[in-house]
C-alpha cells in the first residue's frame, strides 16, 4: 500500500477501529474530550453504534468527563452494542440541568447491550439529597433523578463499572429479559435518601453476581413482575438489605416468582432478607418460591423478616390484612449477628397465611444469645437448628 493510502488508513483508523469483527467508536472522535461535556459525543456515538451492521463498542478512555442526561434508545440494527467506560463521568450537581428526567442514563429497547469498563458513573448526589422531601411529604414528593434506567433490554450485561452517589435509586431495571450484573459496584453513604441499589420490576431472568453494594436504602429490591431473579456473592452494607416488595397497594401488579439469594454477606444493614406487603391494600398477587441460602449477617437489625403489615409512616390500617399470598419460602444456612432480639420475624397475613415457610439452620445471635422468632399466621417447618416461634404472636 502506498504511503498516502497508509496515512489515510491511519487517519480513518483513529475514528473507527475494526478489531476482530467489533467496531470501536472512540468517544474522543465525536468530540468527547477529557474534562469536557460528552453529552453530544455520547449521543452521536450511540446513533452511529445503533445503526452499525457489526457488533460495536463505544469507548471512553480514562479521564474525567461531564455528561447531562442521555437517552440511548433502540431498537438498533447492531447485533450488539457495548459502552466501555474507563473514565469518571459526572452528572450535573444542579438538578435543574437534568431536564426533569427520571434517569440520568436511560438505555431502552436494545438486544445484547453491555456496559463495562473500570470507570465510574458519579451522580453527584450530595448536592441534591436535601431536596428529597419524601420522608416528610409522602404523597406528593418530587422524585430525584436515578443514575441508570435499563428498560426493555434483552440479553444484556452490566459489568465492572461503579455507580456512585446517585441522586435517587442507582439502577432501575424494567421490562428486561435476561440481564446480568457482574462485578458491579454501588457506592453511596448510609444517610443518602432513597438511594436504592438495584430495583427490579417486570423483568424475567435477572442475575446479580459478585457485586458490592453500599448505599442509603435497599441494596436490592424486587418489585412486581420480577421472575427468576438470582443474587449470588453480593455484599450489602451500609443499606437496608435485600427486599421483596413492597407490593399490594395497587391492583395492577403482576406476581413475583422464583427469587434465589445465595452466598451473600450483609453488614450493619437495617434488614437482612425481607418480604414486605401492604395491609389494607387491594392487591392480590402471589409471591412464590423465595429462597435465601448461605447468608452471613453481621450486626443486621432484622436479619430475617416477612412483614405483611408493612406500613411506613402509619398511612394504612394494619387491622385489614394484606391479600398477598406468600408461598414456598426457605431461609437456609443463615448465620451471624442480629441487632435485635427478634432476629426472625414472620408476620404473615391473617387473611391469607403464609404457606410452606422453611427455616433450616438459621443460627443468629443477639448479644451472644440465640435470637427468637416472632411469628403470626405462619407455621414454619424447622430443620436443623433454627429458633422456634415464641410468644402470643405464634398464632
Ligand X SMILES: *[C@@H]1O[C@H](CO)[C@@H](O)[C@H](O)[C@H]1NC(C)=O
∠239-243-247 over CA atoms, to 5°?
130
Helix %, strand %, coil % of the chain (to 5): 10, 45, 45
330 makes contact with ligand X (CB under 6 A): no
When the beta carbons of 52 and 145 are compared against ligand X, the nearer one is 52
For residue 377, give the nearest of 341, 359, 351, 344 by alpha carbon: 351
Pick the stretch among 134-142, 288-296, 309-317, 361-369 that binds ligand X (CB under 6 A). 288-296
Tell me, what DSSP letter sits at residue 183? S
Of 165, 187, 218, 240, catalytic = 240
45 CA to centre of own chain: 27
Cell of 143: 422524585
CA separation, residue 288 to residues 209, 238, 262, 324, 348 (Å): 22, 28, 17, 10, 14
327 makes contact with ligand X (CB under 6 A): yes
CB of 201 to ligand X, least distance (A): 16
When the beta carbons of 283 and 336 are compared against ligand X, the nearer one is 336
Site string for ligand X, 247-266 (x = CB under 6 A): ----------------xxx-
Of 217, 224, 257, 307, catalytic = 217
Q: Determine the Cα–Cα distance for residues 226 and 253; give it in Å rounded to an integer.
A: 10
Tell me, what DSSP letter sits at residue 142? P
Q: Determine the Cα–Cα distance for residues 301 and 376; give it in Å rounded to an integer.
A: 19
Q: How many binding residues for ligand X (CB under 6 A)?
A: 25
Exactly one of 37, 233, 361, 370 binds ligand X (CB under 6 A); which one? 233
109 makes contact with ligand X (CB under 6 A): yes
Return the residue matching grid coordinates 438486544: 111
Exactly one of 166, 168, 288, 322 binds ligand X (CB under 6 A); which one? 288
Phi and psi, residue 313, nearest 5°: 60, 20
Tell me if residue 217 is catalytic: yes
Pick the stretch among 54-62, 160-168, 228-236, 344-352 that binds ligand X (CB under 6 A). 228-236
Phi and psi, residue 183, nearest 5°: 55, 40
Helices (runs of H) and strands (runs of E) counted in the chain? 2, 32
Q: Exposed e or buried b for every residue in 103-116, given b needs 16+ CB within 10 A? A: bbbbbbebbbbbbb
Site string for ligand X, 123-162 (x = CB under 6 A): -------------------------------x--------
268 makes contact with ligand X (CB under 6 A): yes
Phi and psi, residue 360, nearest 5°: -135, 115
CB of 234 to ligand X, least distance (A): 6
When computed from its CA atoms, the radius of gyration of the chain, rounded to whole angstroms, is 23
Exactly one of 29, 39, 40, 235 binds ligand X (CB under 6 A); which one? 235
CB of 235 to ligand X, least distance (A): 5
Cβ-in-10-Å burial (0-12, 13-18, 19+) of 312 comes to exposed
Cell of 346: 414472620
365 makes contact with ligand X (CB under 6 A): no
When the beta carbons of 77 and 142 are compared against ligand X, the nearer one is 77
Site string for ligand X, 69-108 (x = CB under 6 A): -----xx---------------------------------
When the beta carbons of 356 and 360 are compared against ligand X, the nearer one is 356
Site string for ligand X, 34-63 (x = CB under 6 A): ------------------------------
- DSSP letters for 16-69: EEEETTEEEEEGGGGT--TTSB-HHHHHHHHHHHHT-SS-EEEEE-SSEEE---
CB of 58 to ligand X, least distance (A): 18
Catalytic residue ranges: 217, 240
Which spans of this chain sit near ligand X (rule: CB under 6 A)? 74-75, 109-111, 154, 177, 204-205, 228, 233, 235, 263-265, 268, 288-289, 296, 299, 301, 327-328, 339, 356
Amino acid at each position: 500500500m502506498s504511503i498516502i493510502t497508509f496515512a489515510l488508513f491511519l487517519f480513518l483508523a483513529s475514528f473507527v477501529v475494526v478489531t476482530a469483527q467489533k467496531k470501536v467508536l472512540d468517544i474522543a472522535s465525536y468530540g468527547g474530550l477529557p474534562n469536557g461535556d460528552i453529552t453530544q459525543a455520547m449521543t452521536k456515538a450511540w446513533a452511529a453504534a445503533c445503526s452499525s451492521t457489526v457488533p460495536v463498542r463505544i469507548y471512553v478512555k480514562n479521564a474525567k468527563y461531564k455528561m447531562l442526561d442521555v437517552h440511548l434508545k433502540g431498537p438498533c440494527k447492531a447485533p450488539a452494542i457495548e459502552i466501555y467506560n474507563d473514565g469518571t463521568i459526572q452528572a450535573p450537581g444542579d438538578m435543574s440541568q437534568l431536564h426533569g428526567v427520571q434517569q440520568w442514563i436511560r438505555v431502552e429497547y436494545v438486544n445484547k447491550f453491555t456496559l463495562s469498563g473500570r470507570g465510574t458513573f458519579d451522580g453527584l448526589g450530595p448536592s441534591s439529597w436535601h431536596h428529597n422531601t419524601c420522608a416528610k411529604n409522602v404523597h406528593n414528593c418530587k422524585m430525584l433523578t436515578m443514575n441508570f434506567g435499563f428498560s426493555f433490554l434483552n440479553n444484556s450485561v452490566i459489568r465492572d463499572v461503579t455507580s456512585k452517589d446517585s441522586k435517587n435509586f442507582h439502577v432501575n431495571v424494567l421490562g428486561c429479559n435476561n440481564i446480568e450484573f457482574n462485578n458491579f459496584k454501588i457506592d453511596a453513604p448510609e444517610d443518602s435518601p432513597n438511594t436504592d441499589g438495584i430495583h427490579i420490576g417486570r423483568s424475567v431472568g435477572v442475575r446479580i453476581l459478585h457485586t458490592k453494594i453500599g448505599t442509603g436504602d435497599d441494596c436490592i429490591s424486587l418489585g412486581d413482575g420480577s421472575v427468576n431473579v438470582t443474587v449470588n456473592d453480593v455484599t450489602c452494607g451500609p443499606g437496608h438489605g435485600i427486599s421483596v416488595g413492597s407490593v399490594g397497594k395497587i391492583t395492577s401488579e403482576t406476581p413475583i416468582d422464583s427469587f434465589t439469594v445465595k452466598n451473600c454477606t450483609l453488614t450493619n444493614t437495617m434488614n437482612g432478607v425481607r418480604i414486605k406487603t401492604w395491609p389494607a391494600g387491594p392487591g392480590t398477587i402471589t409471591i412464590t418460591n423465595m429462597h435465601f441460602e448461605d447468608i452471613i449477617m453481621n450486626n443486621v437489625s432484622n436479619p430475617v423478616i416477612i412483614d405483611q403489615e408493612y406500613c411506613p409512616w402509619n398511612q394504612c390500617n394494619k387491622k385489614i390484612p394484606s391479600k398477598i399470598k406468600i408461598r414456598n419460602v426457605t431461609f437456609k444456612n443463615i448465620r451471624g449477628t442480629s441487632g435485635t432480639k427478634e432476629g426472625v420475624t414472620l408476620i404473615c397475613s391473617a387473611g391469607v397465611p403464609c404457606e410452606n415457610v422453611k427455616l433450616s439452620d438459621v443460627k443468629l445471635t443477639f448479644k451472644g444469645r440465640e435470637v427468637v422468632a416472632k411469628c403470626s399466621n405462619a407455621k414454619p417447618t424447622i430443620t436443623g437448628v433454627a429458633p422456634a416461634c415464641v410468644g402470643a404472636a405464634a398464632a
